[in-house]
């Protein structure tokens, strides 16, 4: 279980799931989105960022990511992002809401972490 439905709204909700920091919130359509709580640039916690219409913006340098974790904008120009932010909710089956219960499937990050330079 990731959270109760009543806990997730427009505000960013931070929590640890299986020892992984995660943020959850609802987009403008009311759909629950979840991201790893770490910007790929300087690993700043996304919980200090802000929700956009369909994604999240890092509070550190303003990097914006869509609901799939794809980089949308870079307001600081010269910042190079080594990898895209991994969105936990890239596919609909990754998050489920059943009545008042929200559940998220977490990816296995161990293989990715071993392959990241």
- Strands 64-66 and 71-73: what pairing? antiparallel
Q: Residues in the chain, how many?
A: 117
Question: What's residue 25's pLDDT?
Answer: 92
CB 55 within 8 A of CB 26: no
CB 71 within 8 A of CB 85: yes
Domains of the chain, start order: 3-105 (2.102.10.10)
Sheet of strand 20-26: strand arrangement: 13-17, 20-26, 32-36
Alpha helices in the chain (DSSP H): 110-115
Q: How many C-beta atoms lie closer than 10 Å to residue 49's C-beta?
A: 22
Q: How far is CA 59 from CA 39, 81, 87, in A?
A: 9, 15, 17
**Residue 44 token pair:** 């700043």
Q: How many C-beta atoms lie closer than 10 Å to residue 84's C-beta?
A: 12
- The tens-digit pLDDT sequence of the chain (117 residues) is 889 999 999 999 999 988 889 999 998 988 888 888 988 878 899 999 999 988 999 999 888 888 888 778 665 554 454 444 444 434 334 777 788 888 877 666 544 444 444
**Residue 56 token pair:** 């999240």
Question: What's residue 108's pLDDT?
Answer: 61
């Amino acid at each position: 279980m990731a959270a109760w439905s009543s806990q997730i709204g427009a505000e960013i909700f931070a929590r640890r799931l299986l020892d992984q920091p995660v943020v959850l919130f609802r987009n403008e359509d009311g759909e629950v989105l979840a991201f790893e709580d770490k910007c790929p640039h300087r690993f700043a916690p996304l919980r200090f960022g802000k929700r956009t219409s369909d994604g999240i913006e890092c509070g550190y340098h303003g990097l914006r990511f869509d609901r799939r974790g794809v980089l949308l904008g870079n307001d600081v120009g010269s910042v190079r992002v080594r990898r895209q932010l991994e969105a936990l909710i890239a596919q609909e089956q990754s998050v489920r809401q059943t009545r008042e219960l929200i559940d998220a499937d977490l990816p296995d990050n161990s293989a990715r972490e071993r392959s990241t330079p």
